[in-house]
Amino acid sequence: GIQVEQSPPDLILQEGANSTLRCNFSDSVNNLQWFHQNPWGQLINLFYIPSGTKQNGRLSATTVATERYSLLYISSSQTTDSGVYFCAVMYGNNRLAFGKGNQVVVIP
Amino acid sequence: NAGVMQNPRHLVRRRGQEARLRCSPMKGHSHVYWYRQLPEEGLKFMVYLQKENIIDESGMPKERFSAEFPKEGPSILRIQQVVRGDSAAYFCASSPSSGSTEAFFGQGTRLTVV
């Protein structure tokens, strides 16, 4: 099956810092989504981004489908940004394949 | 517009009992997916359903697990004779159609087998 790799696996940020999370995938995909799993376990949709660049507040994402990677940028991080960020790619029969996530901790 | 609703949020079962997890998709969505998240891991696809049809169950364990999405009512993920290894968070997602569409997830059901 398709492989999805996220880096770095763990990240500690000082509040106010910027960061970049990376997602590499091994094959052509139909779409790509970024999620934030908060400390209560809830999965929040951040971006639906099969290609191009999107921005939503302090977050933005870029997917370069031809080179099989996507980047999630967090600017001016806040403690509420803590949690796990998942990249998921859709392939085949509407299946989402998830990476193992980026564990982000923002300290005040 | 209510999101994907899952219940219960938490479920405790003794080994050998049955677990039934329910999922109501977002309004207007006819495609439902179940995923399982084991501790310290990402989510793994289990099954994809449309109303009254199982489209893809290639991620489901061969025994004890079944899923349905009836014409009326929520989708049900059923686990018979639960074992400790079934302890996990089970997430349901829905989308409005097939193809390259955005999937939305419920809050999950955390199953603990004691």
Contacts of A33 in chain B (CB under 8 A): 102-103
Q: How far off is chain B from A108, nearest CA to CA, in Å?
A: 25
Q: A93 and B59: CB-CB below 8 Å?
A: no
Residues of A in contact with B59 (CB under 8 A): 95
Cα B30 to Cα A60: distance, rounded to the nearest angstrom: 30
Identify the pLDDT of residue B98. 66
pLDDT at B40: 74
- Please tell me the number of Cα atoms within 13 Å of B103 on its side-chain side: 33
Strand order in the sheet with A69-74: A4-7, A19-25, A69-74, A59-64, A52-56
Determine, for residues A96 and B102 on separate chains, whether the beta-carbon distance falls below 8 Å: no
- pLDDT-derived band at A91 (thresholds 50, 70, 90) equals confident
CA trace torsion B54, A33, A6, A101 (10° rounding): -70
Check if A34 contacts B (Cβ < 8 Å): no
Of B31, B33, B100, the CB nearest to A50: B100
All residues at 6 or more sequence positions from A69 whose CB lies less than 8 Å from its CB, including other chains? A22, A23, A24, A25, A63
For chain B, say whether A71 makes contact (Cβ under 8 Å).
no
Q: What would the mean pLDDT of A72-92 be, rounded to a whole number?
A: 94
Cα–Cα distance for residue pair A77/B37, rounded to 1 Å: 27
- Give the confidence band of A19 by pLDDT, cuts at 50, 70, 90: very high
Tell me the nearest-neighbour CA distance from B89 into chain A, angstroms: 9
Measure A51 CA to nearest chain B CA, in Å.
12
**Could you give the percent of chain B with pLDDT greater than 70?**
96
Each residue's pLDDT tens digit, B66-93: 999 999 999 999 999 999 999 999 999 9
CB contact (8 A) between residue B103 and residue A100: no
